[in-house]
Structure 1
Amino acid sequence: MLDVGALVERVGPTLLRTVIAGEPSVCVGDVVIAEPDEPVTAAEGDLVLGVAIGERQDAVALVQRCSELGAAAVLLKPPAGTDEVVAEAAKTAGVGLVEVRTGTAWAQLVWLIRAAMAGTGVGQPSERGADVGVADLFRLADAVADVVDAPVTIEDAHSQLLAHSARQDLTDPARISTIMGRRQPDDVLAKFRSRGTFRQLSKGNSAIFVPAQQDGTLPRLVVPIRMGGELLGSMWAVVPGPVSDERSSAFADTAPLVALQLLRWRAVADVARRRSAEQVRLLVDGGEGWRAAANELAVPNEEHRVIAIEVPDSGEPAEGQRLALWEWITRGIGRRPLVTEIGTVLYALVPDRARGGGWPELREALMSHEATPQPLIAVGTAVGVADVPRSRAQADELIGLLRAGHLQQRVAVYEDVWHLLALSRMAGAATDAGVGALGPLPRLREHDRAQGTDYLATLHAWLRHPGDPRRAGRELRVHPNTFRYRMKRIGQLVEIDLDDPDVRSALLMQLLAEQWAQHA
């Protein structure tokens, strides 16, 4: 346990200066916030931070009240912290008085004091990596909550939850859903957007008050988190109503500290992500060292699927979109999916199980994820860990079909579309072999080009629906009699024995190859 003098020394003279030492035998208990016109709830040995105490009379009253409660010291910024009358009152009351240097963020101070009381250092990367960075964010959220006297969430620029304060004394369904779902619900985001909240966040640096909404969402105090002009995220405090200018300013003052911690967390997370990505890449490639990679990643000995995810070109930087999707995928969907990036494609390796971070759970999350444009998702078959490269090859082939538009859906699972893969491979082989130049098709192709007819498509429809001119005509959107007439004209143009099954098979293969080649 530390007394006030030792604590000030540990935090450092850059932020704190002891004005009145107080009782040296009193050990510091906790840190509490005091504001004008609000009762002080300090206990014996507490440090009391006068967050919005600027007037001499308020400071003297606070010192006297803290003496009655047995607090160890009062911390004030200038001018109150350097006022001789306030210092004399503290000396008379037997309470320590500590000056907080101008420009010090109160949240930073709370965070540093608690770290000093716990005997831990802050601000240095740890060997434990990203998990420690996340823990620091949670501790920082608690410190900010103390400053603003309200529950707080820290979110990234995509409204994904990074950390939240422990206090839950004031909450609503929107905050609960944000914490449980690790992101703000879409309907809540839509309402904040309609009010212009995110537009204000993108432009300013000050705190924004958002009134209560008709659906029961409580008021919010929101502040952007910036560094070097980049919007890193935002902080959201659930408040009972309008907030004083002093408290709003104190909340906004915490943003630079949070920004520094977010940058540190992002740097540590990037190192961990790159290391994990290298190991996942070894595993999906199947090269030398895949066993060691599987051991380092602690891949369970069960069947897995490789999920290939590609973000279509939307005019925005694709790298940023992939990074945002990567961060979203790996933020706690069951057992975090193992993700890597190869070229323009993200690959996720997930167990083929219903729960605990398996493919069905990831699929549900991906389908519910609001993104523009929506990503293309290709899923290889379930395989053992040693056969992961085979699942990856299937996913690659499927993503090619999605990219070319051969599949209308945006999610392709190997077991559901294997027949299309077979047709694709066959069409590719036929095209390479030049089979399209054989038989009567070249003459029909030339007639379509010269006369504007549609005989190749007509023949294809007949082969797909033999003996059923109604279905074939419906596919071409023509009357059955028109379809019959076209087939009659084809018979007059070329000699073709459609009663021969081998001829029909050869024609269908040629037409499929031509059709798939047009979309390649």
Structure 2
Amino acid sequence: MNDILLGTAEPAAPARGGATVGAVVRRLADALSPGPVLCGPDDGVIGDVAIAEPGEPLDGVTGALVLAVGTRAAQAPATVAEAAAAGAVAVAVRVGDDGLPPEVRAAAQDAGVAVLGLPRGLRWDRAEAEIRTALAAPAGVFAAARDGDLFSLAQTVATLTQGVVSIEDGAHRVMAYAGSGDEADELRRRSILGRSCPEPYLALLRRLGVYQRVREGGEVVVVAEQPEMGARRRLVIGVNAGRRPLGTIWVQEGAGPLAEQAPDLLRGAARIAATQLVDHYFQGDAGARLASREELSHSLLTGRFEASALAAHLGIDPAAGADVVAVDLREPADGTARPAADTRRAEAAGIMSVHAAALRENALVVHACGQLYAILPTPAGSARTRTADGPRDPADEGHLVRWAGELVATLRRLTGTPVQAAVAGRAERLSDVPSVKLRGHHALRLLARTPEEAVGTHTRLAPALLVDDVLDLLDRTPRLRFPAVAALAARDREQGTDLARSLLLYLDGFGDVTAVAGRLNVHPNTLRYRVRRAVALTGLDLADPEHRLAATLQLRLDLNARDHTDTAFPEV
């Protein structure tokens, strides 16, 4: 049983009142620097806090966290055993720089009880206040990172902005927070401890007109550093539902500057947080709402229900169109160990949601077919924007390509996987979203052949997609063949020769013998011989364009493995 640095494990939600050991530990880790360490199980539910000094009887501590005030290191193992025997869920003791002593860890293991090692210098009354605040919080709050709620959003924003984040409601109460505890300023620590912003700082914000500006909506306000209050530079944006202010999202600068995109990311986060804060005000079931929204979004992507009805539930204009961008995390080619696919996909979906919400209001991010899809609504009428020649304005698509490129760069950096994205195009009507989604799915399949390419577009990949579709059709229709060329490929397999591949590369290379020979790593005369031999065996007329086209299709069919994932929505 090893010491665990606090804040590295996600806590489970308690089944009823109180909070789990893991949830309390996580809160302490966020609020303190340095944070405590934990030894033992973290899923026990703490119902109360009890203070026990040396020699006091441990009565009435069943289900409690016992603060072993004044207990010396030598007494700690016996105190842990006595508290466990009395029914305590956890015991908090002092620890030095070396963490929990082996004797304490052994006592915790024998008794099956959790032990929290609190750092020297932390006042017991502060620890008690922080723990009681955790116990008084709604059960769902500390499961937020798991459930995709405000804590998860705060963590995503902290990761993307490289800052320290807190989300407050309209009464300035801290609802969620994330970011390095080591980089939190004194104001942040006091806000987390007291669950609300200190009044002197609130008064300053009122004098500066900060709250008036954020209530007007959409503006990211910069609040300068206030050294006398222990406050570093901050960004803040209001979270509003129409004209009603719901709360704010704050990003504090840490050890370094905030990310350049921080203001745009805050705008996206505010749009996502609005529905969650509405749940808070009206005591809605955020978990159920999120699950319902995901299901509705998936139905819009797959076409399972009538699009206009789904749009009304999702807050989208039924007459709107939508751009669709498909993203695949891919697996690392080097076999490097990575977190489970579901974990990486959930992390990526949170990041993608903030980016998408920053780009378009009411943006949706949906998981399907092992990939992620951004549905980006466009105002009614703009979906039919055309140039004089008919196709969509390339500059419009270029904006999406740049956005997708920034998203891919962020995901590659944070997930450590070779992410790729495909700008699938625009659905003029929401009912067209499933067909555009299918284009994105096929485009990602083609992009996998060039892993160095970050972003592709359906417009650029259209020729390759056409050829791919033709090959799929031929693959499923055995009577459509060029028998002589098919026999050439079969002959190579039997005799170990390379005539078919040499002929295909020669046709693909427009007869450039020097370049094709270089690709094959053979002498140009060797390539010329192979082509002559292939022509002699098959009866090809290379001067006939139909012969060349038919031979190319047959050779690609025979030499390239076919991916039969042809449905719009294959199994994940």
TM-score, scaled relative to structure 2: 0.47
Matches within 5 A, 1:159-308: 169=227, 170-171=231-232, 174=254, 177-178=257-258, 181=261, 270-299=287-316, 302-308=320-326
Q: 1:268 to 1:482 in 2, by over 3 A?
A: farther
How far 1:447 moved relative to its partner?
3.1
Shift of 1:102: 5.2
Aligned partner of 2:168 in structure 1 is 135
- Distance 1:467-1:394 versus aligned 2 partners, 3 A rule: closer
1:439, CA displacement in angstroms?
2.7
Residue number in structure 2 paired with 1:312:
330
Cα RMSD after superposing both structures:
4.7
Q: Which residue of 1 aligns with 2:370?
A: 344
Q: CA deviation at 1:338?
A: 0.6
SS in 2 for 1:440: helix
Residue-by-residue CA offset, 1:185-228 (whole Å, 9 max, x unaligned): 9xxxxxxxxxxxxxxxxxxxxxxxxxxxxxxxxxxxxxxxxxxx
Matched letter for residue 430 of structure 1: L
Write the mapping of 1:369-448 to structure 2, written as runs, cut at 5 A. Answer: 369=411, 370=413, 371-384=415-428, 385-403=430-448, 405=449, 409-434=453-478, 438-448=482-492
Distance 1:481 1:289 in 2: 62
Secondary structure of 1:434's counterpart equals coil
Report the counterpart of residue 321 of structure 1 in structure 2: 344
Q: Is the 8 A contact 1:276 1:338 kept in 2?
A: no
Gaps of 5+ in 1: 1-13, 15-77, 80-99, 113-120, 155-163, 186-263
Identity fraction in percent: 20
User: For structure 2, which runs of at least 5 residues remain unmatched after alignment?
Assistant: 1-17, 19-68, 71-122, 142-147, 154-166, 193-221, 234-252, 266-279, 379-394, 565-572
Distance (Å, rounded) in 2 between the aligned partners of 1:494 and 1:382: 45
Q: Which moved more, 1:274-283 or 1:375-384?
A: 375-384
Task: Give the counterpart of 1:480 among 516, 520, 524.
Answer: 524
Counterparts of 1:452 and 1:332 in 2: how far apart (Å)? 52
Shift in Å, 1:432: 1.6
Quote the Cα distance in structure 2 between the aligned partners of 1:331 and 1:494. Answer: 57
Given that residues 150 and 176 in structure 2 are in contact (C-alpha distance below 8 angstroms), is that contact kept between their aligned partners in structure 1?
Answer: no
CA contact (8 A) 1:381 1:414 kept: yes
Find the partner of 2:410 among 356, 368, 374: 368
Whole-angstrom CA distance in 1 between matches of 2:320 and 2:255: 37
Give the secondary structure class of the aligned counterpart of 1:364: helix
Please give the secondary structure, in 2, of the residue aligned with 1:319: helix
Query: d(CA) in 2 for partners of 1:506 and 1:453?
Result: 22
Q: Once the 2 structures are TM-superposed, how far is the Cα of residue 108 of structure 1 from its aligned partner?
A: 6.7
C-alpha deviations, 1:304-349, integer Å up to 9, x for none?
2222223334653111111111112223551463112224222221
Secondary structure at the aligned position of 1:453 is classed as: coil
| 2:219 paired residue number | none
1:275-309, Cα deviation, whole Å (9 max, x unpaired): 22112112112232321221222235554222222
TM-aligned CA distance change 1:177 to 1:390, over 3 Å = farther
Distance 1:351 1:359, change over 3 A: farther
- TM-score by structure 1 length? 0.51
How far apart are residue 420 of structure 1 and its match? 0.9
1:330 aligns with 2:341: no
Distance 1:517 1:461 in 2: 16
Which protein shows a greater Rg?
Answer: 1
TM superposition shift of 1:510: 0.7
Supply the distance in 1 between the matched residues of 2:260 and 2:134 (Cα, whole angstroms): 25
> SS at 1:330's partner residue?
helix
1:63 maps to none
Deviates more, 1:385-394 or 1:370-379: 370-379
Cα distance in structure 2, aligned partners of 1:272 and 1:332: 21
What secondary structure, in the 3-state scheme, does the structure 2 residue paired with 1:412 have?
A: strand
Paired amino acid for 1:279: L
Count, aligned residues = 322
Cα distance in 2 between the residues matched to 1:466 and 1:141: 60
